[in-house]
Amino acid sequence: MDKQRIFDCIIIGAGPGGLQAAIYLGRFNRSVLLIDRGGGRTTLAKNIENFLAQKVISGQEIVDIGMEQAASFGVGIVRGVVGSVRKGRGVFEVSTEHEMYQGKFVVVSTGGKENIPDIGNIYKFFATSVVTCIDCDGYHFTGKKSLIIGNSIRSADLAMGMREMYSKDMTLVLCTDKLPDDYKEELKDEGIRLVVGRPKCFHGRETVESLEMEDGTVIPCEMVMSHFGFKLNDKFLDGLNLKKESDKRTYQVNRHFESSLQGLYIVGPLSGHDQVVIAAGEGAAAALDIKKRLLEM
Ligand SMILES: Cc1cc2nc3c(=O)[nH]c(=O)nc-3n(C[C@H](O)[C@H](O)[C@H](O)COP(=O)(O)OP(=O)(O)OC[C@H]3O[C@@H](n4cnc5c(N)ncnc54)[C@H](O)[C@@H]3O)c2cc1C
């Protein structure tokens, strides 16, 4: 690859957001470089059922097919970890461990990293009967013996929402005893069992069957929601002083997903939504705006 070249667009992250942007820009015959370190959150999703026109598809398949599609439209793909993005004289400099690449526009779609609690056997059941996202997998709790594990008031809110939508048989395990009394009352009124303590280990053959607590209590369950959130992969944006939303976590973007720094677009969980179809749509919207801006240049 010609290292002196200035790409029309550099895309960081090959999840659905970055790949969709790459496919659009590749098909606009623009010079596009996609940099990815591999192993993103999408690849953890085993059965995605809420993606239009795909009855069920794994996250790994979406990424593999997307990579092939992007490459077939001339997108250059490199493996690497982006450590920094700088802007000088109208051109972005995107640096990995070994190289620096230049681009007129940048799309950031680096997603996040799951916070997975330290509970025995969690990886045996992860993404099948122990899941992390109500919008993705709440449906699988329908009519099931359900367990939510968390450490905040938000986990109690989640339990009440899930009880309303999916299952009346609901236990909430909280690793903190800081739940206000009115919440405890509300959970009781809703028929949600509250257990406060430290989870030790999951048990089950093919799917999860119970959670053993450190004090020896065993809680039977068929589906578990592990509610500990995820960290954003955004360290490399630190030097840019980008504006954030009031949550102090996600980035402010306009309706084309351009951040407060002109020419730098942010899609996927970093700009707020955590769904494959939305990340892909945002990647497409960013690419359309970049196409227009390149024509105007
Ligand atoms: C278990 C599980 C199940 C899920 N199920 C569903 C579902 O059913 N339906 C649904 O819509 N959504 C689901 N999601 C959410 C979905 O995975 C995310 O919304 C989606 O991954 C966000 O897309 P993204 O483009 O930000 O990509 P990601 O998949 O997060 O990809 C980001 C990419 O950027 C790369 N990257 C990160 N930092 C750097 C760096 N510094 N340099 C280079 N590359 C970097 C990563 O390696 C990764 O390849 C699920 C998530 C999980 C964890």
43-92: pLDDT as tens digits: 999 999 999 999 999 999 999 999 999 999 999 999 999 999 999 888 99
Show the domains of the chain with their CATH numbers: 6-114+230-296 (3.50.50.60), 122-227 (3.50.50.60)
Regarding the beta carbon of 276 and ligand 1, being less than 6 Å apart is answered yes
Q: Which atom of ligand 1 is nearest to the CA of 235?
A: 41
Find the 99 Cα to ligand 1 centroid distance in Å: 24
Q: Read off the pLDDT band of 110 (50, 70, 90).
A: very high
Q: Which atom of ligand 1 is nearest to the CA of 126?
A: 1
Regarding the beta carbon of 232 and ligand 1, being less than 6 Å apart is answered no
Return mean pLDDT, the chain.
Answer: 96
Q: Each residue of 193-216: b (16+ CB within 10 Å) or e?
A: ebbeeebbebbbeeebbbbbbeee
Residue that has been written with the tokens 């009440």 in this structure? 160
Q: Which atom of ligand 1 is nearest to the CA of 268?
A: 26
Find the 199 Cα to ligand 1 centroid distance in Å: 27
Compute the distance between CA of residue 139 and CA of residue 144 in angstroms, rounded to an integer: 10
Compute the distance between CA of residue 68 and CA of residue 73 in angstroms, rounded to an integer: 9
Q: Are 282 and 17 in contact (CB under 8 A)?
A: yes
Regarding the beta carbon of 42 and ligand 1, being less than 6 Å apart is answered yes
From residue 180, alpha-carbon distances to 51, 188, 228 in Å are 38, 13, 19
SS3 263: coil
Q: Which atom of ligand 1 is nearest to the CA of 96?
A: 42
Residue 90: its pLDDT value, please? 87
Which value, in Å, is the radius of gyration of the alpha carbons in the chain? Answer: 22
From residue 213, alpha-carbon distances to 144, 187, 198, 207, 261 in Å are 20, 20, 6, 18, 48
Regarding the beta carbon of 161 and ligand 1, being less than 6 Å apart is answered no
